Amino acid sequence: MASQVSHEVAPREKRELTPAEERTEAGKFFSPHTDIHETERAVLVTMEVPGVSKSSIDIQVEKGVLTVKGTIDPTRYESVQPLYTEYNVGNFVRTFTVSPKIDAASISATVADGVLTIELPKAKEALARRIAVN
Positions 20 through 79 that interact with other proteins (CB under 8 A)? 26-28, 33-40, 43-44, 46, 48-53, 72, 74-79
Answer for which of 24, 84, 124, 132 binds other proteins (CB under 8 A) is 84
Selected from 61, 90, 104, 123, the binder of other proteins by CB under 8 A is 90
Handedness of CA 9, 66, 99, 118 (dihedral sign): positive
Pick from 1, 10, 105, 132 the residue near other proteins by CB under 8 A: 10
3-class secondary-structure state, position 46? strand
Per CB under 8 A, does 18 bind other proteins? no
Q: What are phi and psi of 96, to 5 degrees?
A: -135, 145
Q: State the nearest-atom distance from the C-beta of 100 to other proteins, in Å.
A: 17
From CA 26, how far away is CA 46, in angstroms rounded?
26
Calculated CA dihedral for residues 64, 48, 90, 22, nearest 10 degrees = -30
Considering the complex, what minimum distance in angstroms separates the CB of residue 71 from other proteins? 10
H/E element, 5: helix 2-6
Residues near other proteins (CB under 8 A) are: 4, 7-13, 26-28, 33-40, 43-44, 46, 48-53, 72, 74-90, 111, 113-115
